[in-house]
Amino acid sequence: MDNWQARTHKFAQKHNLTHDPGVTALDLLSEFGEVAKELLKATNYGRHDPILDNPAIADELGDMLYSLCQLATAVNVDLDQALTAALAKYEARWQEKGHPGSGK
């Protein structure tokens, strides 16, 4: 388990914030929506480029990362191992097809 995942799990246990995977997945989706909302606000709904170093976006991304770590823990996935496998998969696709997409 990577450091972020272990830290969030310890925090959640300390404060009795562990939930079943379904609730945790919904929380992650909610946080994703909050990131999207901040990006929309930061670009004035696509009218200009986002302002870099936006504290509201950073805050929401932190919340989203926390929720992702909690979901991974809830379903017994080590995010460090999952990321390593994903990068290997993308590298193999890049070598085979010239891009990392699945082509599906």
Domain residue ranges of the chain, discontinuous segments joined by +: 3-97
| pTM attached to this predicted model | 0.88
At residue 103, the pLDDT reads 77
CATH code of domain 3-97: 1.10.287.1080
At residue 42, the pLDDT reads 92
Helices of type H across the chain? 3-14, 21-42, 55-74, 79-97
Q: Which residues of the chain fall short of a pLDDT of 50?
A: none
